[in-house]
Amino acid sequence: MILLDPAESEALLLSLRVAGVAVAVSLPFALAAALLLARGRFFGKGLLDGLVHLPLVLPPVATGFILLMLLGTRAGLGGFLFAHFGIRLVFRWTGAALASAILTFPFQVRAIRLVLEAQGLGLDEAARTLGAGWWDRLFSITLPLAMPGLIAGAITAFAAALGEFGAIITFVSNIPGETRTLPLAIYTALQTPGGEVEAARLSGLSIGMALIFMGLAQAVTRYALLRDV
Amino acid sequence: MALEVRIHQRLGAFDLQAEFAAAQGVTALFGPSGAGKSSIVRAVAGLSRPRQGRIVLAGRVLLDTDRGVFVPPQARRAVLMFQDARLFPHMTVEGNLLFGWRRARAKAGPDEIARVISLLGLEKLRQRMPRSLSGGEKSRVALGRALLAAPDILLLDEPLASLDAARKAEILPYLERLRSEQDIAMLYVSHAVEEVARLADSVVLIREGRVTGQGPVFDMLTGIHAGLPALGAVLEATMTGQRTDGLAELAFSGGIIAVSATPPTGARLRLRIAAEDILIAREQPQAISANNILPVIVSRIALVGELADVELLCGAARLVARITAASARRLELAAGARVYAIVKSVTVDRNAGPFP
């Protein structure tokens, strides 16, 4: 990176890694949740719907705090994972990825659910009487047709994950090279006397990233719309 | 019997109770819209689960609520062709055609695939995407896709209803060829009497969720049935020879009928006569343009408002003439009266094929 100093490019690359892993990890779960919400008929569907959307309305700091309570090495679940599998999420970039995954989950679910609902069950029924079972139909009909929604949802979630701040700083703190993503680097610069120029550079970088990925998401959606006409 | 159905299903306020059987060939589920025909084929396909009943297809029990048997749709070998074709938009025509074939247990060989593709005239469409096809082409692809899945029964849910008259005329011959060239059981849902008269071997009449009659197409469509549009006659006929005046002579169970067609001698054809195209005369008319004047006996008269449907026996065949009630009174028609039926026009369907 010619235009960025080492600390800046470190923050940028870390941000991209955290957001990428966050989206990749949450995608299968988002797909499952979207399938359940779009096609399932079961008791507690409203509850699941609310739960999926919770991160949208909850303050990110609160989400980070809840994660810390659950997954800290001295907490119940976190202690268990650490003692038996050596998995530690606090103060690690993987923890940052987990927090980002949870916070951007609703974006993915919504995008996938919309295409699934638009798709309807007609083609699924046709495939069924032609001899295709559930997994077969998922991979031959449902997923290929939902692909634009999956991609648009993933890109939007990725762009949103790049901006995650509150949950990350609360859950995994602000460690250079480990958990200091772009937003945390901006925050750090602002805490440093005379760091405004640095903060402005990093903000510009964030804006650039956001524009690129939102543009991509729009292009995918437009392509999908044109294709289906 | 290829298919035996006995189901009881409640859909909201609608109560569906149906029991019928279907042999090889085309069985039409015939009745007005909303009678429950589509619900029946959906239950046969396994897309709905009746509260009570038993469905047996080619000796396999697909549904038996008493014993808790429910075979899922993908294992039934009962392929449903929907009114809206439902082609997979992300696959080529060929991909669509082979979708069910890939999943079939008894796969058709390359010759058989080529035969179905040419039967339906799909050779030039193989690499096209569904969105670039016309409505009629989509229907043909859907039909081919269903056939290549090698089903034990082909379920057709109003396959022509969403097409305009020209497209219908385009598809019907393919269905007729299918019927005569393919040894397959078909359950054909329709509310259009012309389609049923042209395609069906036997007919199951459905009305308000109940089966109101079942039998060979000739008995079910000709004759007076409550609530059905009167059809003059559906006749099976054999070409016996060409007359000197150019007309073809066809033998049917009521005698000889002459039509302007040139089928090969011995060909078996299906004839349709509209009830409005049969006139009744008390005495044998002389010097008349109609080619066919058949001596008949009045067996029954049903008044439908200002109109009268008159059932006529012609040998072993049955015809229905639709005349005005005033004419019926003037001619003093009553059961047993010997009169003459003047047939104004006859529709000859090719590929009528053998009847059961």
Nearest to A129 among B78, B84, B131 (CB): B78
- Tell which residue, B199, B197, B196, B172, has the closest CA to residue B184: B199
What pLDDT, in 10s, does the model give residues B303-356? 878 888 898 998 888 888 889 999 999 999 989 999 999 998 888 776 544 443
CA angle B271, B164, B203 (to 5 degrees): 40
Residues of chain A above pLDDT 90, percent: 59
Task: Give, for B128, the enclosing helix (H) or strand (E).
Answer: none
What pLDDT, in 10s, does the model give residues A68-98? 888 887 777 877 888 788 778 888 999 999 9
Pairing mode, if any, of strands B60-64 and B69-70? antiparallel
- The pLDDT of residue A229 is 41
Task: Please give the Cα distance from A116 to A60 (Å, whole number).
Answer: 28
What the block records as the tokens of B144 is 């081919």
The DSSP output letter for B247 is P
Q: Where are the alpha helices (DSSP H) in chain A?
A: 6-39, 45-57, 60-71, 76-85, 93-119, 122-129, 134-137, 143-162, 166-172, 182-191, 196-228
B147 and B80 Cβ atoms separated by less than 8 Å: no
Q: Can you state the angle between helices A45-57 and A93-119, rounded to 10 degrees? A: 130
Model confidence at B28: pLDDT above 90: yes
CA angle B248, B251, B255 (to 5 degrees): 115
Model confidence at B36: pLDDT above 80: yes
Task: Give, for B162, the enclosing helix (H) or strand (E).
Answer: none
B191 and B33 Cβ atoms separated by less than 8 Å: yes
Average pLDDT of the residues in B64-85 = 95
Model's pTM, two decimal places?
A: 0.80
- The pLDDT of residue B226 is 56
- The pLDDT of residue B355 is 40
Model confidence at B39: pLDDT above 90: yes
Nearest to A126 among B72, B86, B131 (CB): B86
In this prediction, residue A227 has a pLDDT band, given cuts at 50, 70 and 90, of: low
- The pLDDT of residue A148 is 85
Q: B79: which chain A residues are within 8 Å (Cβ-Cβ)?
A: 129-130
A224 and A152 Cβ atoms separated by less than 8 Å: yes
What pLDDT, in 10s, does the model give residues B136-162? 899 999 999 999 999 999 999 999 888
Average pLDDT of the residues in B259-270 = 80
Q: B72: which chain A residues are within 8 Å (Cβ-Cβ)?
A: 128, 133
What the block records as the tokens of A14 is 């870390």
- Chain A segment 106-125 residues within 8 A of B by beta carbon are 122-123, 125
Beta bridge pairs of residue A14: none
Residues of chain B above pLDDT 70, percent: 96
- The pLDDT of residue B225 is 63
A196–chain B Cβ distance below 8 A for any pair: no
Torsion angle, alpha carbons of B107, B111, B114, B119, to 10: -100
Query: Residue B126 in 3-state DSSP?
Result: coil
Task: Please give the Cα distance from A137 to A127 (Å, whole number).
Answer: 7
Contact at CB, A128 and B73, closer than 8 angstroms: yes
- The pLDDT of residue A2 is 58
